[in-house]
Structure 1
Amino acid sequence: MADFLVPSTASPETDAQHRLNGPIHAKRHVRVICIGAGASGLLMAYKLQRHFDNFSLTVYEKNPEVSGTWWENKYPGCACDVPAHNYTWSFEPKLDWSAVYAGSREIYKYFNDFAKKYNLGRYVKTQHQVVGSYWNKEKGGYDVQVKDLENGTAVSDHCDILVNASGILNNWQWPAIPGIDKYKGTLLHTANWDDKIDLSGRHVGLIGNGSSGIQVLPTIQPHVQKVTTFIREPTWVSPVQGLEQHVFSDQERLEFATKPGKLLEYRQGVERGLNGQFGIFLKNTNTNNETETYFRQQMHDKLQNDYLEERLVPNWHVGCRRLTPGVGYLESLGKENVEVVYGEINAITEKGCLCDNGNEYPVDVLICATGFNTSFKPRFPVVGPSGKNLQDVWKEEAQSYFGIAAAEFPNYLIFLGPNCPIGNGPVLSAIECQADYMLKLIDRFQTHNISQFSPKQEAITDFIAHKDHFMQKTVWHDPCRSWYKQRPDGPVTALWPGSTLHYIEAMMEVRLDDWEVKYNGNRFAWMGNGYSQTELDPTADWAFYIRENDDDEPISRGRKLQLINKSGTLQGNLGVSFSGKQVTDAPPAVESKL
């Protein structure tokens, strides 16, 4: 396809004039800035490199290295709660995972190796933190302000399209407990871990029983003198999701590496199992009821303590909070050197924690496993053409289009934004389809004379109304305290109204009727000088459409999907509870196949 180079400083009139002189669908130069070199940012760089040319890309990363949250999180026991072979890109398997639930260092290595393999470092500037982005009304796109963290200087940049891949679970925060600055012992946060701190033989306090706390406790318990763990509310602690923790033998890893189809078969089997568990999150389904019964029995068997069972087993549905495989956690609560303090911490003193039972609990080291700021507000100003700052617009409730864009903020795209599948399925699969959707928008921007694209407010309003209606029948709507929503009785802002497979289908095609599109000059300037791209390629077949038979790809959405999802190749899928029992929760059929 013929290209023409129009620098980012060119006027809209220059762009339109160049198009009139070139062939149909000529590709203008596109300048992209991506914020964050974690999993999402690296994937964006990979896909732009693989599928596009006539573009420039800079990925600004605040950390000294790539891989985002997996570079940052080094606390004891840190691991992914998805089987490792399925915590990879669909097209980029890893042959030598050590175990089903691999640790954070292995996961970091996977993404770091991915960046090295495809030379993605050429696009990345580490220790550069974006501090502001402002729409440029004269030339379009964003003026981006960046701080060079190595030397403290300010850097200015400009882009046609701004992609925020900074993630949702990497802006860690201290708990909002009075007096935390007065504590004179060693203060640690799981997301800002200091490897130089030795916990051996010390009395450790642990605040939190979310995902991080559940992983930390059984890891440190055998090595410390005592752990006092502070728990303020119940939570469902899940057994592993149908797959027990298992260390792969040398023979298993060899077969994965050398036996054709062996690893693919394993990965597909795990993925089908994960995708078969969506019924867990729907109230009054067989899958949810079966799973809750199983969880309740598992917690009873592992706690063996009526006091703890009464306080730790919730009265809200399984899945209202993020499910974390509790490998060894419940058993650790009953160890001799573990003390459980249930209730609120009123204040942190010089020595430790003052709780609502009136007792003070002195500790040598205080670990805060208290999570992240998950408000979805950008961590820097994003100012659109109207002068509005997205930080202010999303102050009370973040409302996006399908988790990737916001109304009135053109040419601004978001990975893992509000209401996409970041807690109810294989998240990397969702990131892949988000990247593909963004690239379709960028392709249209590059090959048509588009100046701005952003979702219509009416489309977002309708999407949020549909989402809120759907959520009423899910467990996420229960009054639990969860990062899925900003308050226990508030709207669910983090999750997609459907399964991961549902999201993938919804994102397969760009619904341009949901988007506000503005053009540089005449909207048909992209038609150019009357010549096709084919005629400009002397190696192409100028009669490619003359054939002996109809070998076209399917045109209808239904037929396309059957080709993509390999319909007819399996005997039939069933829902699966966490107990491993297959449970039928057949979705209602509204179409009949003729």
Structure 2
Amino acid sequence: MKGNIWNMLWILLLLSVTYIVMGVTVIIGFIGHFFYWFIFDLCGFGNRQTNRKLHVTTNQKEDEYYALIIGSGFSGLGMAIKLKQLGTDNFIVIERHEHVGGTWYANKYPGCACDVPSNLYSFSFEPNPNWSYFFSRQTEIGDYLEHCTDKYDIRRHIKFHTTVTKLKWIDDKQLWEITIQSSDNQEKQIYAQFIIAGYGPLSNASYPNDIPGIDKFQGQMCHTAEWNKNIDFTNKRVAVIGTGASAIQTIPEVQKAGVTQLLVFQRTAPWIIPRLDRVVTNLEKRIFKRFPIIQKFIRAFIYWVRESAVLSFTYRLPIRHAFQRVVKYDLYRQVKDKELRKKLTPSYDLGCKRVLLSDDWYSSMQQPNVKLITNRIQEIKSNSIVTRDGDEYPVDIIIWSTGFQVQNFSLPVYGINGRSLKEQWSQTFQAYRGVTVPNFPNLFFLLGPNTGLGHNSIIVMIEAQINYIAEALLYVDEKNVRMLDVKQNVHDEYNQKIQSNLKKTVWQSGGCHSWYQDSKGNNTAIWPGFTWTYILFMKYFDPTNYTFQ
């Protein structure tokens, strides 16, 4: 009894330290936020985009555009809106699906929701006072992006059911030739001065290539990123392979869908923290609508709380031990079975892989029709899964929750003198500031290499990149040049510094191998620091680091 009391007191102390650190971060953050607002927004110092417009004529020739945007998720729509604000209509958005939304249209698995609070997972210039939940569901995020598309008159610029199959830079014309393919497999070439690739890394489903027999399975199969809504789970034996971000949302829903047995195949246990989701009341919605400043304040508060995680993840301050102990206590509190608890306990540091949010993961894993299997899969048979210890599990349905092809670049892109981007990236993915790549002029990436996050809202990074691209376009327009290309030495020095900064972070030294890393162990996904430093970094274009023609 005495031991339990001391343990509770120890946890309370750790919680207190954790909240104090978060509180100090929020206070310092708000002070910085105020000065940023005062200097840049109120006083307008350095606000170079104010009243500046692009001098771009309407389509000079048929099928020739000033800019072409690939994708209509947050990145693509945000860039399209910015081009509108800069005064041009001469752009086209290519979207392979029949709706806008990107990953938030494609992913329709049961329980699909965002793990960033709604008020922070939206454009800063387009707050939504009507979110239904503290953490938005997939359908509501999709509706929000549809709303943005129509409010800013972007829909008429979008070519749906169309895929970009090749990009080729034409040296003598200083234009990109873009090969597009319609849904009926008809190919066509169009042209653009600038390309903005906004399709993001989480767009193509990934299946394991080390499990034989997948093609022999005679039951039903689907990937969480390619959900088959016609599958009937009633009285079926279901296997879910993977326990990442999609799986922890899907599994609780499938468990309640009348399945006879749910087998969860886990390779490594994830760190889980409570999501603490709730319904947003009508009173709150009215307040947000009447007083937008309150919603902005809440957005800023959430932002700075999440920024505090960098102290643990990047700088590896001792506070990380408190964070980890508190999160582990929640596992011990909810899961009483020692054997199951052992299987659910991660073997690496908190944050090394993406930290997952759930209010029902642990309870779902303890249901009588759920079994957690940690032995690696040996092969898939016609109606069963065999693990390496020789056990065979009969299944009717397999759900693959095995992530995306983050480390596979499949789009053929040819730059100066026919240089292949796939070949240039054959060793590792790299870009200057995550946006531009030498030898590929006038090509910008949104959410390119090393601009992903493991702690905060990716919308923050997208908006910073859009601002940087807009500054670049304005500079090219004002200097009356046609082409910009980042210098090779600048690009190389930048990426050496990024990898050096990553070495001591949790993402590289936390004891795991994650999808953030390529086959050589290089971290090509994560930004190694505070997002506010990236925002300041991307506020202005740096022409001295580029060549122009």
| TM-aligned CA deviation for residue 124 of structure 1 | 0.4
| TM-aligned CA deviation for residue 2 of structure 1 | 9.7
Alpha-carbon RMSD across the aligned residues, in angstroms, is 2.0
- 2:73 aligned residue: 38
Report if the CA contact (8 A) 2:306-2:455 is conserved: no
* 1:441-590 superposed matches below 5 A: 441-478=472-509, 479-487=511-519, 490-515=521-546, 517-519=547-549
- 1:215 aligned residue: 249
Matched, 1:182 2:216: yes
Report if the CA contact (8 A) 2:485-2:548 is conserved: no
| TM-aligned CA deviation for residue 376 of structure 1 | 5.6
Residue range with higher mean Cα deviation, 426-435 or 392-401:
392-401
Matched, 1:275 2:322: no
Q: Which one has the largest radius of gyration?
A: 1
Report if the CA contact (8 A) 2:505-2:528 is conserved: no
Q: Aligned partner of 1:45: which letter?
A: A
Matched, 1:111 2:145: yes
SS in structure 2 of the partner of residue 163 of structure 1? strand
Change (3 A) 1:421 1:386: same
* 1:52-71 superposed matches below 5 A: 52-53=87-88, 56-71=90-105
Distance 1:235 1:462 in 2: 34
Distance 1:84 1:122 in 2: 27
- 1:568 aligned residue: none
Report if the CA contact (8 A) 1:8-1:160 is conserved: no
Q: Aligned partner of 1:340: which letter?
A: L
Distance 2:513 2:309 in 1: 22
Deviations 1:465-501 (A, max 9, x none): 11122112210013412111124x7121101121111
| TM-aligned CA deviation for residue 264 of structure 1 | 2.4
Distance 2:59 2:117 in 1: 45
Distance 2:522 2:206 in 1: 22
Matched, 1:318 2:350: yes
SS in structure 2 of the partner of residue 211 of structure 1? coil
Say how many residue pairs are matched: 493
Deviations 1:52-89 (A, max 9, x none): 33x51011111111111111111011110000121100
Matched, 1:163 2:196: yes
Change (3 A) 1:372 1:342: same
SS in structure 1 of the partner of residue 91 of structure 2? strand
Q: Aligned partner of 1:155: which letter?
A: K
- 2:10 aligned residue: none
Distance 2:470 2:129 in 1: 29
- 1:411 aligned residue: 442
Distance 2:54 2:286 in 1: 46
Deviations 1:180-222 (A, max 9, x none): 1111111011011111222233221110011011111112212
Distance 2:191 2:94 in 1: 13
Distance 2:306 2:544 in 1: 33
Q: Determine what percentage of the aligned residue pairs are the same residue.
A: 29
| TM-aligned CA deviation for residue 272 of structure 1 | 2.1
- 1:383 aligned residue: 414
Distance 1:260 1:172 in 2: 38
- 2:48 aligned residue: none
SS in structure 2 of the partner of residue 450 of structure 1? coil
- 1:26 aligned residue: none
Distance 2:384 2:391 in 1: 10
Deviations 1:423-479 (A, max 9, x none): 332110110010110011111222223232121111121112111221122100134
Change (3 A) 1:342 1:408: same
Q: Aligned partner of 2:96: which letter?
A: K
| TM-aligned CA deviation for residue 386 of structure 1 | 2.4
Distance 2:310 2:418 in 1: 41
SS in structure 1 of the partner of residue 272 of structure 2? coil
TM-score norm. by structure 1 comes to 0.80
Report if the CA contact (8 A) 1:277-1:287 is conserved: no
Distance 1:3 1:261 in 2: 35
Q: Aligned partner of 2:366: which letter?
A: G
* 1:409-448 superposed matches below 5 A: 409-448=440-479
Q: Aligned partner of 1:41: which letter?
A: G
Change (3 A) 1:258 1:302: same
Residue range with higher mean Cα deviation, 195-204 or 140-149:
195-204
Distance 1:194 1:84 in 2: 27
Distance 2:463 2:316 in 1: 31
Distance 1:7 1:218 in 2: 51
Matched, 1:83 2:105: no
Q: Among 361, 381, 388, which residue is 1:349 paired with?
A: 381
Distance 2:60 2:528 in 1: 38
Q: Among 85, 88, 92, which residue is 2:126 paired with?
A: 92
| TM-aligned CA deviation for residue 104 of structure 1 | 0.6
Change (3 A) 1:114 1:351: same
Distance 2:406 2:454 in 1: 13
Q: Among 373, 380, 392, which residue is 1:360 paired with?
A: 392
Distance 2:218 2:70 in 1: 37
Q: Aligned partner of 1:78: which letter?
A: C
SS in structure 2 of the partner of residue 310 of structure 1? helix
* 1:301-340 superposed matches below 5 A: 301-340=333-372
Change (3 A) 1:2 1:293: closer
Change (3 A) 1:220 1:3: closer
SS in structure 1 of the partner of residue 225 of structure 2? helix
Q: Aligned partner of 2:163: which letter?
A: Q
Change (3 A) 1:460 1:2: closer
Report if the CA contact (8 A) 1:376-1:418 is conserved: no
Report if the CA contact (8 A) 1:33-1:159 is conserved: yes
| TM-aligned CA deviation for residue 384 of structure 1 | 0.5
Change (3 A) 1:421 1:2: closer
Q: Aligned partner of 2:440: which letter?
A: F
Matched, 1:173 2:206: yes
Deviations 1:288-316 (A, max 9, x none): 22211111111222222322333332232
Change (3 A) 1:287 1:501: farther
Any stretches of 5+ residues in structure 2 without a counterpart? 1-52
Distance 1:154 1:67 in 2: 24
Report if the CA contact (8 A) 1:426-1:500 is conserved: no
SS in structure 2 of the partner of residue 67 of structure 1? coil
Report if the CA contact (8 A) 1:135-1:383 is conserved: yes
Report if the CA contact (8 A) 2:244-2:401 is conserved: yes
Matched, 1:233 2:294: no
| TM-aligned CA deviation for residue 4 of structure 1 | 7.4
Change (3 A) 1:61 1:43: same
SS in structure 1 of the partner of residue 359 of structure 2? coil
| TM-aligned CA deviation for residue 3 of structure 1 | 4.8
Report if the CA contact (8 A) 1:421-1:503 is conserved: no
Distance 1:90 1:239 in 2: 26
| TM-aligned CA deviation for residue 395 of structure 1 | 2.1
Distance 1:85 1:199 in 2: 34
More helix, by proportion = 2
SS in structure 1 of the partner of residue 218 of structure 2? coil
Report if the CA contact (8 A) 2:313-2:320 is conserved: yes
SS in structure 1 of the partner of residue 356 of structure 2? coil
Distance 1:77 1:321 in 2: 21
Q: Among 119, 122, 126, which residue is 2:156 paired with?
A: 122
Report if the CA contact (8 A) 1:415-1:431 is conserved: yes
Change (3 A) 1:482 1:3: closer
